[in-house]
Structure 1
Amino acid sequence: MSKVKKRLMEYLAVMKLHQARSSSQKDEETRPTTEPSSVEGVTLNSTARSPTNRKAPPGPVMCLVGPPGVGKTSLCRSIADALGKKFCRVSLGGVRDEAEIRGHRRTYIGAMLGTVLQELARCGSRECVMLLDEIDKVAQPGFNSNAQAALLELLDPSQHSTFRDHYLGVPFDLSCITFICTANSASEMSRPLIDRLEMVELASYTLQEKREIAKR
């Protein structure tokens, strides 16, 4: 468990640094600029700069892997609290179709937003930690390929700013969301998905630990 704690502390440190840099960059972009002065076409002083929208590149999405009941969801909530962000959860256990992730097109009766934007609306903020729970249920080889493609897009930082929900019909920026995944087992997950994740293994409780929990 000490290795898991160490890795989580490293992850939180990186995320905090990323937040600080992003905040500093926004301050730089909104700071008033000084117009350059010149004599006979020669610039004497110029502090004006063009705004940049570049963000510090995020690391791979963390995936907590372990049997049910070891506290994966609780750890994710603690990460959200440590980052000062809201927490929301998307359950992937019953997802069987791409439309449940990307939403239904408006031409269908009963069309609605996908689960990601539904949870985001419920959360009320894009500055949140979003848990993709039981990702291994969707990521098995041979499972609905369209659903996996939607999931891979969610986990690709380069595509976060252009995520398109079919119901919404326009690109929606998800780059402010901190995604974290959980899985009961990584043994049956597809290779492309594993390549996008940083796996953190959580062992099941020992008999002695279970006894201590029962005493409390």
Structure 2
Amino acid sequence: MQHDTAARHCDIVLDTRFRDLLGEAAWNALPISVRKRFGKRLRGGASVVYQGEVVAMRRTFPGYVLSQLARLVGGPLPHDMSSLRQPAVVTVTEDCAGEGQFWIRQYGRATGFPQVIHSSKRFAGPTGIEEYIGCGIGMALQVAAGQDALIFKSDHYFLQVGSLRFRLPSWLSPGKLTITHRDLGDTRFLFSLTLTSRLFGELIHQDALFHDMEIDL
């Protein structure tokens, strides 16, 4: 697996948004490689691209049903088990107009076109950071530092219609989403996604292993 980036050093500036969410002490406790990945801000439409491979996938039948229903609103959940051991690509582009980041996740499949997931992270809302998946649907996130990891957990889901915003009741929630960015050293990191339900337990789990190149600010 290799890493490639379209961002040049002149396109990268210091970014304190994730540090401000965590607090100075928690931020400084993270490995320096994690701080470099989340402490840079791209400008001028530049993108950074991480290449890797899906190394683990689990899904229950309720998780399968939910992932298929989610395709009606853009398909934000991994829905094809054939992505296991297939290439994975993540592209991050600064949203200059919305003061956030565009994320595109591409997961190869054994046959056919890859699954592509689009989302937008915005540094806004009651928790300070939100992720939009399309069709007006988004989730507020809580950010925490774990051992060698940056952890994102869903706080609540909402529907945005124009200037109106409606917080979805818990019974309409697809479950608790946890995304972990865990540093493995040697320029490697593990991206893990887990969706759990109070009623059915774990619904979906996916691990993707990525490599990167150190970028000094």
TM-score of Structure 1 vs Structure 2, range by shorter chain: under 0.3
TM-score, normalising length: structure 1: 0.25
Q: Which has the larger radius of gyration?
A: 1
Per chain length, whose mean CA-contact separation is higher, i.e. which structure has more relative contact order (CA < 8 Å, sep 6+)?
1
| Structure with the higher strand share, 1 or 2 | 2
Q: Structure 2-normalised TM-score?
A: 0.25
